[in-house]
Chains A and B, each alone.
Chain A
Amino acid sequence: MMTGKESQNPVIVAGGGVAGLTAALDLAAAGRYVELVESAEHLGGRVSELDKIYPGDHCAFCPLWTDIRRVEDHENIRVRLTSRITAVERKPDSIRVTITTEPRYIDESLCVFCGRCREACAADAVRPSWEHASPPSFFIDKTGCTKCGDCVDQCPTGAIDIERPPVEIVLSADDIIWATGFEEVDLTPLPEFGYGTHPDIMTSLEFENWIAEAGVNQGRILRRSNGKEPRNIAFIQCAGARDRRLLPYCSGVCCMHALKQAQWIKRRAPEVGCTIFYTDLRTVGRDYFDYGLRSLRMTTGVDLVRGRPGMIRPLPGGDALALKYENTETQAVEIARFDVVILNGNLAPSQLLPGSEADSPVDLDSQGFVSAGRDGAAPFACGFSREPADIAESVLRASSSAVTLAGRKDGPEP
């Protein structure tokens, strides 16, 4: 029988990505109540936005979906979507947490997905919510909504309330597990990468979205500039990372991410040349190195060049991109021509209160990572909010945080 502080107060898990889902399920299975706070309109976080995951090379969706459903069905877990933790106050015997929820005008528990609201909307502000939502529902984009109310009349179940206000609640919690993940950092300040100067210079996450099987191009490998298949693609590793100007650390997941994208490009469009420009090819986890070797062994191959390009520019005419780099293995400085350049590395921990001047609800270090407690003390953090982490590392740390929290005898720390 599990003992620990006998507490009626819930544990709050901040973030509904793989780390948060794991922490929530572990605590719930152990009999604790969990409030899962997620800022997006669906669970699943970054992994749900990916096309494929490494090293299994299948889509992340299936196993992720299982855990999302288990979270949604679990009687010990309450999910709060479109919500954030906006304040944390540590009192002698509990933690008072303020959670702010942005309203969804369409109540997803009542929406039957008939689509009449979308037909009625003249402002085109109604769209389906996350494509893998189960059950699916519609979502009103507040920036487009004119508040005419035509959709309200059409809804057969009365699910729409366009005056629904934001909700702020304050809960007494036993503690918080931070699992807020990562976001991209703007690369425009680093002029050598040319980000923003040409549509075919993209970040790796933008590219993932662009070539996704479930995305706008249905998996086809096309250039954003002219819609044609590129002749070749360059992956630039450590863009923004291991860089005193921007992110001094290594973002951890980008080497494998580039290898994964290169492998899938080769599968779908074998004639497209792929070159990965790297500094250290960090294939550290389970089966990762073998996965990277596979890149090299595939028929037309993926080229690996050790070197960090010093200049990426659109060529005159804008038809292709010039990339100047030193191949550190041949000691030659070269200029190569690529149709598409993918920048990899600009990942930083998510801002907890974007656009707000308020104090952070938890102590962060200079890079924005949660300053996690040592030796099992709070604050508890897992996944990228704590340090660069891939899926396995994130979920392992989540379970570790959960068991540490569950085993505490003394309750929350002041």
Chain B
Amino acid sequence: MTDLTTVTARRRTTAGGPPRVAQQRRGLPHLGAVAALTPFALFLAVFLLWPMAAVVWHAITPNGVLGTSGLVRAVSGPYRSAFVNSFVLSGASAVIGGVIGLVLALVVRDLRRPAWIAPATDAFSSVASQLGGVPLAFAFIATIGTQGLLTKALSAVGIDVRSVFSLSSLAGITLVYLYFQIPMMYLVVAPAVGGLRRSWREASELLGAGPVRYWLTIAGPILAPSVLGGMVLLFINAFSAYATAYVLSSSTSLVPLQIRFVLQGNVITGEQDLGYALVTWTVVLMGVGLVVMQLLQRRAARWTAA
């Protein structure tokens, strides 16, 4: 494309003779651009930007006056605990899922013998990372809920799960979220792990580095952007998950569930502003996460075998 544009540009400056032809050639792609890009842009503007702009506008003008009282209220008092819980849940599931996903990628790479293991893990992860929502919550209720089969099997051998663990607790929801977080992390880091060349390790060993030194100075720094980027992605993924948490425990104080509560329960004007403020904080947080992720990914792309 760059070649083409420079060629036409040069022709325009040198030819000078028939400018109409050149203008037509330049005009056409512009028309094509308008036809191709406008519906898409309009669609995003109406169905995404307008509603979100309205929310942010409402949030910064509580009761019609510009001010931060709504935003402050959304992160104080009972609503602060929703943010704290959501942070703990998303953070825990991102870190645990991230570590297990990374170990899985390393293990699958090292186990080269059954040739099917890597493609099978890839395919399984692609599927499992998209499973979630209502059926997944049911599956865990059947397994380790109060009447779950694993719960009863364990109590038969004298381990009472119910006294220490509940699916509606943060630990319980984390356990369920790992079901899609681990495969998601695997998909993100597998290319980076595959990009670690065997020759780098051999070279470092020849130069006298032990495994610790190799991981600290070579493999670690190369994997770090992918791993951190993957964890940010998992964080966003968990923070915005709704259906699973709703089914497991609609009463736990999590940000998405609080938004629903405010939206459904109260039509009083002040409460509605509160909902807008909660959404604004969520979107700001997710946006920051997205930017961090993009920056990390750009760094990671340098070493990934694409």
Our verdict on whether A and B bind, yes or no, reads no
Using a CB–CB cutoff of 8 Å, the interface residues on chain A facing chain B are none
Seen from chain B, the residues whose Cβ lies within 8 Å of a Cβ on chain A are: none
